[in-house]
Amino acid sequence: MTQSTFKRLLLGITGGIATYKAAELVRLLVRQGVEVQVVMTQAACQFITPVTMQALSGRPVFTDLWDNRIDNGMAHIEFTRDVDAILIAPASADFLAKLAQGRADDLLSTLCLARACPLMVAPAMNVHMWKNAATQRNLALLKKDGALIFGPGSGEQACGDEGFGRMLDPEVLLEALEASQQPKLLAGKKLLITAGPTFEAIDAARGITNLSSGKMGYAIARAALEMGAEVTLISGQTSQIPPYGANLIKVTSAQQMLTAVMANLVSKDVFIAVAAVADYYVLNPSEQKIKKDAHILTLELAPNPDILANVMNLPDPPFCAGFAAESENLIEYAEHKRRRKNLPLLAANLIQDAFGGDDSELVLLDDKGAHPLPRAPKIILARQLLRHLARMLPKKPKD
Ligand SMILES: Cc1cc2nc3c(=O)[nH]c(=O)nc-3n(C[C@H](O)[C@H](O)[C@H](O)COP(=O)(O)O)c2cc1C
């Protein structure tokens, strides 16, 4: 699992059904190497016990302003001294109101008032509580005061109602937390990204594909969203979960991918071709499943279109970046490909690194030379690649 950019978080849990999600949230944060200090309101303790949160966070949980376990008796100040942020998840309607008013009548609200760090809030409540003018007023005040608000999501609620008010699921909330920490280097930019393998049908059940997992393309889409870009992700068949906020278009074959790319290029600032596109397709695929017999079966293959070349050859192409996976002579072959395709930026990796794994190693090639990115999780490499790319972009976005 990728390390978090946060070192220490204070997690405030308030009273609502979604406290059960806070338990999973703590587990995931701890797995990402974050020290989590949990503080709960009295109402939160009605829903989930401090013991559960203590077991998951590995630290005593505090609930009381008058707790004397801290030497100087001032937990409400001590706990905020060296945390990167306070995250309230779930945040009840009542607690949003308290925060908006700057009240300090229990440990958690006093901590929030005494803090010198960012405040992040993940609201969770019934849809009517959420829509209530008072809640929306409190929320607007909190935003104005600089708090970051994550969610809520929409869907079926514990009370049987349907609509906005669900706390974001822990994984999605973690993604949003990380995203909030990334520099918005691609704000206002529109990116088109291809990812995953293509599949070229042989018959109704079989086809030619490759080992691309889609992880790198999806990581780049996620990193681009984190940096403030608008992202369209055209993907071959993968089991990856699309990043929250991406416009996902699913395709199967190389020809479908080309059609989708060309149809979605309008006003894009950047095109990044990460997909492992099959070089060949089967000329006459059978509509029915081919029956096995004793004869040798010959497939006739024809070359697929080169999607990146099609985009590069447009009269006014977006900024284009490609990927090259080689099994040997990485830099030499990849740089040859970059020059042949006249690409400003190409990311090269070895086949054994490129497919399937969560980690990889990249070399970025541009007119200034080779820039190696050492082995790291793909999301980290994706952020590094996009930081490099952002520096190469023309200043003015396309209309
Ligand atoms: C069963 C039950 C479920 C509740 N769920 C929520 C909820 O999801 N969101 C919310 O804002 N309030 C919810 N409430 C109301 C809060 O628990 C109540 O406003 C409480 O005072 C909040 O205290 P706190 O903000 O100090 O944690 C619920 C109450 C009950 C009895």
Mean pLDDT of the chain: 92
Report whether 226 contacts 387 (CB < 8 A).
no
Q: Do both 357 and 299 map to the same domain?
A: yes
Q: Do both 206 and 99 map to the same domain?
A: no
CATH number of the CATH domain containing 24: 3.40.50.1950
Q: Provide the H-helix boundaries in 236-298.
A: 254-263
From 17, 38, 92, the mutation candidate for ligand 1 (largest count of ligand atoms within 8 A of CB) is 92
Percent of the chain residues past pLDDT 90, beyond the cut: 78
Q: Do both 38 and 123 map to the same domain?
A: yes
Q: How confident is the model at residue 162 (pLDDT cuts 50, 70, 90)?
A: confident
Total residues found in the chain within this entry: 399
Q: Do both 59 and 128 map to the same domain?
A: yes
- In the numeric block, which tokens belong to residue 362? 């990249």
Q: Do both 198 and 174 map to the same domain?
A: no
Question: So what's the pLDDT on residue 354?
Answer: 62
Q: Do both 91 and 238 map to the same domain?
A: no
Assigned domain for 3 exists: no
CATH number of the CATH domain containing 313: 3.40.50.10300
Look at the alpha carbons of 346, 347, 349, 351 in this order and tell me if their dihedral is positive or negative: negative
pTM of the entire predicted model: 0.78
Assigned domain for 399 exists: no
Q: Do both 285 and 234 map to the same domain?
A: yes
Distance in angstroms (rounded) separating the CA atoms of residues 281 and 235: 18
Q: Do both 225 and 248 map to the same domain?
A: yes
Q: Do both 171 and 262 map to the same domain?
A: no
Quote the ligand 1 centre to 41 CA distance (angstroms). Answer: 10
Distance in angstroms (rounded) separating the CA atoms of residues 171 and 189: 26
45 is catalytic: no
Report whether 115 contacts 72 (CB < 8 A).
no
Q: Do both 218 and 170 map to the same domain?
A: no
Question: So what's the pLDDT on residue 1?
Answer: 65
Q: Which of 198, 363, 344, 192 is nearest to 272 (CA)?
A: 192
Assigned domain for 2 exists: no
Asked if pLDDT for residue 352 goes beyond 80, the answer is no
pLDDT tens, 227-280? 999 999 999 999 999 988 899 999 999 999 999 999 999 999 999 999 999 999
Neighbours of 80 (CB within 10 A): 20
pLDDT tens, 173-203? 998 898 888 899 999 999 999 999 999 999 9
Task: Pick the last residue of a domain from 181, 216, 248.
Answer: 181
Domain hosting 278: range is 190-392
What residues flank ligand 1, with Cβ below 6 Å? 14-18, 41, 43-44, 92-95, 124-125, 129
pLDDT tens, 55-99? 999 999 999 988 877 776 676 677 777 899 999 999 999 999 999
Question: So what's the pLDDT on residue 353?
Answer: 66
Ligand 1 atom showing the smallest separation from residue 44 Cα = 27
pLDDT tens, 97-150? 999 999 999 999 999 999 999 999 999 999 999 999 999 999 999 999 999 999
Assigned domain for 398 exists: no
Number of domains in the chain: 2
Quote the ligand 1 centre to 107 CA distance (angstroms). Answer: 17
Q: Do both 349 and 245 map to the same domain?
A: yes
